[in-house]
Structure 1
Amino acid sequence: MALPTLPGTPVTVADLDRDNPGQGIVILDVREQDEWDAGHAPGAVHIPMGELPARVDDLPDGDLLVVCRSGGRSARSVAWLNHSGYDAYNLEGGMKDWQVAGLPLTADGAGPATIL
């Protein structure tokens, strides 16, 4: 997947490679623990939005595709990350659109992966 050249530019699920949506990027999931446990993108990094400033050193190098449930928390996180010097992009529609598009999900909780 090629991200837009301007950090902060929104990305949609239609922009992702259906066979390998996280290829070449870091997917940063800023949802809460229960949301993460229910279902998330395989290989994603989990740092809840409220913990992001304290855990910014935990971020891997590379472009960040930031996701939440529907795109609101991730948009705020992207603004903060871009202001802090990171190349971050918001997934519009969030993990809800990810699930509807049939992109891969994995879960840490019991039962099948789903988006809360």
Structure 2
Amino acid sequence: MNEFGIPTTDITGVPEVIPADLVVLDVRESHEWSAGHIIGAIHIPLGELQARVGELDPDARTVVVCHVGGRSARATEWLHSQGHDVINLAGGMDAWEQAGRPVARGDL
């Protein structure tokens, strides 16, 4: 938990190779997603999250990511209030890339 009560982890709490039982939700805009995202992540921009929440399994452990952690914190807070098993990645894609983690580019 961070100081605001939002479930949060730093980069060391997320495996470099995402295991099958862990979902990564990227809430950035499409141009940010195309520029680089975590391999295997699901892309639902923050502005579409409430309309598309049915695409997510509330019981699946989900790491939420954005550019540096602000939008993903809002998404994590809302999803948590809806009963989802979620955690925010502090530092977001900035932290992921600074740690030298693999990144997919394009719309894949």
Unmatched 5+ stretches in structure 2: none
Structure with the higher helix share, 1 or 2:
2
Residues 13-52 of structure 1 show CA distances to partners (whole Å, capped at 9, x for unaligned) of: 112223x1x2131000000000000100000000000000
Alpha-carbon contact 1:49-1:77 (below 8 Å) kept: yes
Alpha-carbon contact 2:7-2:76 (below 8 Å) kept: no
Residues 63-104 of structure 1 show CA distances to partners (whole Å, capped at 9, x for unaligned) of: 110000000000000000000110110000000000000111
The one of 79, 83, 100 equivalent to 1:102 is 100
RMSD across aligned C-alpha pairs, in angstroms?
1.5
Q: What TM-score, normalized by structure 1, do the two folds share?
A: 0.82
Structure 2 counterparts to residues 1-116 of structure 1, below 5 A: 8-18=6-16, 20=17, 22-23=18-19, 24-60=21-57, 62-108=60-106
Alpha-carbon contact 1:82-1:88 (below 8 Å) kept: yes
CA distance in 2, matches of 1:15, 1:102: 15
Aligned identity (percent) is 46
Unmatched 5+ stretches in structure 1: 1-6, 110-116
Amino acid in structure 2 at the alignment position of 1:26:
V
SS in 2 for 1:85: coil
Q: What is the number of residues matched between the two proteins?
A: 101
